[in-house]
Amino acid sequence: MSRKSDWYPAKGRVILHIDMNAFYCSVHEAVEPAKYRGKPIAVAGSVELRRGIIVTSSYAARKFGVRTGMQVREALKVCPRLILIEPDFALYRTFSHGFRAIVHEYSPLVEVVSIDECYADITGSSQFGTPLEIAEQIQRRIGEEWSLPCSIGIAPNKLLAKMASDLKKPNGITVLRLRDVPKVLWSKPCAELFGIGEKTAAKLRQLHIHTIGQLATAEQSLLIKTFGVHGIWLKKAANGRDDDPVRADRTISKSIGHTTTLPRNMDNLADIRRVLLNLADQVTRRLRQQELVAGTVQIVIRDPHMKTVTRAETLPAPTEHADDVYKTAVRLFERTWRPDNPVRLLGITLQNLRLRKDAPLQLDLFAYENQPKKEKLTRTLDAIRDKFGEDAILTAGMLEDDPRKPDKG
């Protein structure tokens, strides 16, 4: 398929499944690459690590036989050099919000399945390119902006997208069409079909149904007799059929963020402030588009050695204005970063979001008198951008020799 229109059918859907690879371990590798990257590491779910259970392991550890659910003492036997890490769920949530914010830029129809995976319906996203190009952009940006590997499946439904993302790990992209199902899936055991557990697979074996292909061609009456109405789904799924739509989260966004990888290592504070100003401008514009205000500002900093640091500050009152976010971001940066340490990536994420109409604004007398003028100016500038494009209005940081106009993130 070479034409974009060939990828987007008049009837039907195009679904992505984005699955982060060894997510918890990958987050620790991103934050402390010198300590963890490429090494056999595992996150264990107990303070008493040696008595705990392996929650997940890196691909380097898996080569030694370390697996999820294995007791730590057993894992240490098969891999004596295994590095054990206690879980840090606040850190994982930050990175989860980060990669999902990137996905949301390509479609509003995003269904979060867990902390490390989501579906995206990109049927209406042809302006960003073909589905393969969109998947490549998402994968590249998650890698560049968050230093995380992910696998992406592209298919006409959620079931096949999920199956496709599992075919190439880590960092794979797989297209799986309905016509590919017999060749790609039918030779696999039934237990490998998403949605079939070991108990169901055991019952299918009792019926002499061992492969997905045998299930696809089995008598539906036999399946209904054994499994009830679930038997209808089993046969449909084995044939690659799935009618379940992507159920976008209709609740308020948990975070909105922008991240930019700088074209060069940067240690000049004036340049860094200008990048933060641009980021604050972009992220608050998206905030206002959703009629939200933010209660917390978080910054992300990465150095040339890929060490990532995040810092956050809760605001005295919710805001939607770039200057509030910018001042907080600069304060966090200057409080955190050493002057002699260059920066390669910067980001701002707004958290603790709530609807603007539900957020009481705490204003002093000066702010109270000037707030209507400030809001009117902000709305006017937003309206100009909506009509004439983002470049119709430039912040001070976008003028002259801008060190970096930020990418979305």
Supply the pLDDT for residue 317: 87
Alpha carbon 293 to its chain centroid, in Å, reads 22
* Residue 32 is among the residues annotated as catalytic for this protein: no
Do the strands 150-155 and 173-175 form a parallel or antiparallel pair, or are they unpaired?
Answer: parallel
Distance in angstroms between the alpha carbons of the first and the last residue of the chain = 29
Q: Rounded to two decimals, what is the model's pTM?
A: 0.69
Supply the pLDDT for residue 253: 65
Take residue 13 and report the two structure tokens written for it.
């859907």
C-alpha torsion sign, points 141, 142, 148, 153: negative
Those residues of the chain that have pLDDT short of 70 are 1-6, 46-51, 249-253, 359-409
Supply the pLDDT for residue 301: 93
Residue 326 main-chain phi, psi, to 5 deg: -60, -50
Out of 105, 111, 117, 145, which one is annotated catalytic? 117
Supply the pLDDT for residue 404: 40
